[in-house]
Amino acid sequence: MQTIRRMMEHLYWADRRIMEALDENGTKDKDILKLVRHVAVAEQVWLSRLEGKGSSQYALWEEEDDVGTLKTMFEENERRYRNYIDRLEENRLDDIVEYANQSGVPFRTSVRDILSQVLLHGQYHRGQINRALRQDSAEPVQVDFITFARL
């Protein structure tokens, strides 16, 4: 659990850093904001599944032009994930979660693997967001784990 907790702390930190970069750069690029929203919604989708709820109410690829709304989404995600992780016991990491993906296809995945997906998915897209910020003549932000670990 210690590693998962640490990695989740990195996720919260990295999400905040991306939002700070958007604020600082005043980014209005719809593709960048759509990708940021995708990360926030994907976090919501996976947490909903971990909590035994459906996820069909979530649209993964909608546009959002309000940075404040995105910031609120990440703040809520952090609050909800902290609550979930605080209650999660190590002996439950290999429990199997049954869920349907956004297309309705059923799957069975361990809690451990779902949390790993959340962590890796966000980091993958934060790299894309940083690249897009650079192409938009904005300053990308350092979100590597080692940067977080050095704090």
From the list 6, 2, 24, the residue with the least C-alpha distance to 146 is 6
Which residue, 108, 124, 96, 115, is CA-closest to 43? 115
Write out the H or E segment, with its range, that includes residue 108: strand 106-110
Is 10 annotated as ligand-binding?
no
Cβ-Cβ contacts under 8 Å for 24 (sequence gap 6 or more): 139
* Nearest in space to 20 (alpha carbons), one of 76, 67, 65, 52: 67
Residues in binding site: 38, 121, 125
Residues in binding site for a divalent metal cation: 38, 121, 125
